[in-house]
Amino acid sequence: NSEISFFKEVYVLVKKIPKGKVTSYGRIAALLGKPRAARAVGYALNALSKDQEQKVPWQRVINSQGKISFRGDTGRSILQRKILEDEGVKFDFADKIDWKVFGWPDMIPSKSLLKKRN
């Protein structure tokens, strides 16, 4: 199934995000060659089992605005922020991260990854 294959690709890539860094759903999608699949990246991370969550650092993927996406379960969002702060990620007064400091790879998300690859 292509969806299962895509989910596995997401997990492999997310495992490469170092502690203290974050990236966006769209960035993961673009790095996988599917720049319009940001939502599917979110689905993949949401599909992680409790066991998989221990191996895949899901908390390091946030939205393109540099904020944690609220998914109906505020406890989950609070947990995500706590884990990120424990890893050294800092949020400003607007609950955003600074992409220049904490973004992975070391590039601001608004720049085109596809241009860099060519």
Q: How many CB atoms lie within 10 A of CB 58?
A: 20
Q: What does the DSSP 8-state code read for residue 69?
A: P
Task: Report pLDDT for 110.
Answer: 47
Which ranges of the chain have pLDDT less than 50? 109-118
The pLDDT tens digits for 54-80 are: 999 999 999 999 999 987 777 899 999
Spatial distance between the Cα atoms of 95 and 33, rounded to a whole number of angstroms: 29
Q: How many CB atoms lie within 10 A of CB 102?
A: 20
Nearest to 3 by CA among 49, 57, 39: 39
Task: Report pLDDT for 41.
Answer: 97
The architecture CATH gives domain 2-117: Orthogonal Bundle (1.10)
> Torsion over CA of 45, 46, 48 and 49, rounded to 10 degrees?
160
